[in-house]
Amino acid sequence: MSDPAPPPLTVAVLAGGLSSEHEVSLSSGTSIREGLLAGGHRVLMVEIGRDGTWRRDGEPLRLEPAGGLLGADVVFPALHGPFGEDGVVQGLLESLNVPYVGSGVAASAVCMDKVLFKELMAARGVPQVAYAGIREENFRRSRAELLLRLAELGLPVFVKPAHLGSSLGIVRVTAAGELPEALDAAFAHDPLVIVEAMATGLEVECGVLANPVAPDGYVPPLASLPGEISFPGEWYDFKAKYTPGGMELRIPAGISAGAAERVRVLAVQAFEHAGCDGLARVDFFVEGEHVLVNELNTMPGFTPTSVYAKLLDATGVPYPALVDRLCRLGIERHTRHRAHTH
């Protein structure tokens, strides 16, 4: 006799937020809601306004430490960017003593900081593109010296705010004279900026999905089939990511079997090195057998055009099963952590 199906859950979905990815988050939240409803769950939508106010059905919510959130079994924080994906909301949910989907405070903060993430990966020997992290105060003080340092990366380079996602605020620089203006534009978003050398090859993405803890110990996460991103422009920008038809996802990616296996191994390694939980999408550059990690996203988009769910679906985990599993993984982790004495 097969085991009975687990009971449905009451899930609070957080969407919106303070970051410039507010609208993307709302779209992700709507898709997650539909997936959870298809799986038979009860869904409570909570919108975080651009002013930071949490609202349910248009009414502000009152949050109390250790008070949970609307009696939900688990929270799905469908939030992208600062004040949502960087450990801030995760810390608040910890103080509410409520289970939630995805990585905890430390891993969320590390992976949201592109410079810190790359430094951690470098320390663990993970292959990456060449990069430099530049702080605004240092650039104002030592402008000429830092521009000489950045020249070692060659051209073109990509200038990115260190704490934004969805390709927001990124400038592609093809001439040395453009670099100061690109840095100033990035500093308008973030006091820490990363400058990356341009990588050749294909843009490849791999989804990672944690497994439940087995009775006899740890089970490695599942790495999806790698997917290849193609787009009409020179690089994978915000418009290509979120405009229907703006990009094409090929699954499996048009890379060798050896490179595909290397992508999947490195995706799990990056996930584990960063201490992630639940899910992640790891982005790569692949040229022949040469594989480089670009970045890791702890809460990838769940919009209709987003890559993560498509990768997992192609690997045998359909959308309703995916969001169900993520919620139950969040509850499992919460129960496991609360079993320890602090």
Supply the CATH classification number for the domain 109-127+200-316+324-337: 3.30.470.20
Kindly state the DSSP code that residue 176 receives in the 8-state scheme.
G
Architecture label for domain 131-197: 2-Layer Sandwich (3.30)
CA 215 to chain centre: 29
Residue 123, judged by CB atoms within 10 A of its CB (0-12, 13-18, 19+), counts as: exposed
- What φ, ψ does residue 145 adopt, rounded to 5°? -65, -45
Cα 161 to Cα 23, 74, 190: the distances in Å are 19, 32, 5
Model-level pTM?
0.92
Asked if 74 and 123 touch (Cβ cutoff 8 Å), the reply is: no
pLDDT on residue 167: 58
- Which pLDDT value is given to residue 281? 98
Query: Residue 3: what pLDDT?
Result: 66
Winning range, highest mean pLDDT, from 104-108, 213-217, 218-222: 104-108
Q: Is the pLDDT of residue 242 over 60?
A: no
pLDDT by residue (tens digit) across 100-120? 999 999 999 999 999 999 999
- Which of 174-178, 291-295, 302-306, 315-319 has the weakest average pLDDT? 302-306
- Please, which pLDDT band fits residue 21 given cuts at 50, 70 and 90? confident
Please give the share of the chain, as a percent, with pLDDT higher than 90. 83
| Residue spans per domain, the chain | 10-102, 109-127+200-316+324-337, 131-197
Is the pLDDT confidence value at 1 over 60? no
CATH 2.30.30.100 assigned to domain 10-102? The reply is no
Beta bridge partners of 290: 287
